[in-house]
Structure formats: structure tokens, C-alpha cells
């Protein structure tokens, strides 16, 4: 049987002694080029004058929502979304009026993006019912119905 052969020259998998020094030289060259690039970049761009920045204006996170229910119906039952959840009230006269202010409609502060909803059902044999939703004074929804026990239902987002 013959003995295994041993390599006699340099083996390809062994690194040469000069490869480490070559890496350092390459790294030094890249560093010098980077410094030269930054220095030349600063000289070639013209100086810019400062830009005036407008002060930040806070974005309103809440809106004034007003639910309005009008019509010729003698009485209505309403269901509405309020800041504290869903509310139901029965046998109300039209126009729907705030007990606190005496003004037509009910007002709430609602968070931006919050779901708004009101429905009013006629409780008589005839008449009309109209519901409306206003956000910060702008009408965003309005629906009317007519007849016995008809329902007007409005929804929107604050």
C-alpha cells in the first residue's frame, strides 16, 4: 500500500502573509477618497439662506357635533351616538331641543374620526321626520322620512 501524498508547495486555502497589509492599504485609500469627496462637496454647493418656517399650529382633536331632528310628526323616539355611548330617548316633541340651552338640536364635543349617528322614528300615523348632523357648523348628513312610524337615520364621522 502506498503512503498518502503530502502537499509540498503553498496550499490555496491558506492566506498569504501580504493579504492583511493589502486590506489596510485599501482601507486607507478608501478613507482618503471619502475625505476628499466631503471637502469638495462643501466647496461646490452654494451657501443657502435660511428658510423661514411657519410655527406649528395644533390640529384640533375634537369637534362640535350638533344633532338636529325636525318635522311635522307629533312625537319621535330617537337613538344617537354620544361621547359616552349610545343613548335612546322616547316620545320627544319636534323640533328636538336642548333642555340646557333651549336651542334646537343637541350639541356634543366628539373626538376627530369618531362615528356619529342619530335616528328618529315617527310615533304617529302621519307626519314627517328629518334628521341632520352638523360638524363644526357644517352640515354633513341629512335624511327625511314621511308616514306612520317611518324612520330617518343619519350617520357621519367627526
Q: What was the pLDDT predicted at 29? A: 76
Interval 80-107: pLDDT, tens? 999 999 999 999 999 999 999 999 999 9
Q: What is the mean pLDDT of residues 63-78?
A: 97
The string of pLDDT tens digits covering residues 109-155 is 999 999 999 999 999 999 999 999 999 999 999 999 999 999 999 99
Which domains does the chain carry?
62-157 (2.60.40)
Backbone φ and ψ of 114, nearest 5°? -70, 145
Q: What is the DSSP code string of 125-154? A: SS-EEEEEEEETTEEEEEEEEESTT-EEEE
Decide which of 90 and 33 is more confident.
90
| C-alpha to C-alpha distance for 143 and 122, rounded to whole angstroms | 13
> Considering the chain, what is the average pLDDT of its residues?
83
Amino acid at each position: 500500500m502506498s503512503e498518502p501524498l503530502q502537499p509540498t508547495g503553498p496550499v490555496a486555502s491558506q492566506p498569504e502573509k501580504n493579504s492583511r497589509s493589502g486590506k489596510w492599504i485599501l482601507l486607507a485609500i478608501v478613507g482618503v477618497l471619502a475625505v476628499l469627496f466631503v471637502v469638495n462637496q462643501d466647496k461646490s454647493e452654494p451657501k443657502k439662506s435660511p428658510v423661514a418656517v411657519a410655527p406649528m399650529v395644533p390640529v384640533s382633536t375634537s369637534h362640535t357635533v350638533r344633532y338636529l331632528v325636525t318635522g311635522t310628526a307629533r312625537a319621535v323616539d330617537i337613538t344617537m351616538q354620544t361621547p359616552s355611548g349610545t343613548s335612546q330617548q322616547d316620545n320627544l316633541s319636534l323640533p328636538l331641543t336642548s333642555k340646557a340651552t333651549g336651542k334646537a338640536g343637541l350639541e356634543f364635543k366628539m373626538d376627530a374620526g369618531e362615528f356619529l349617528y342619530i335616528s328618529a322614528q315617527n310615533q304617529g300615523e302621519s307626519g314627517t321626520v328629518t334628521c341632520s348632523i352638523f360638524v363644526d357648523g357644517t352640515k354633513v348628513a341629512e335624511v327625511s322620512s314621511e308616514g306612520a312610524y317611518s324612520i330617518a337615520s343619519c350617520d357621519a364621522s367627526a
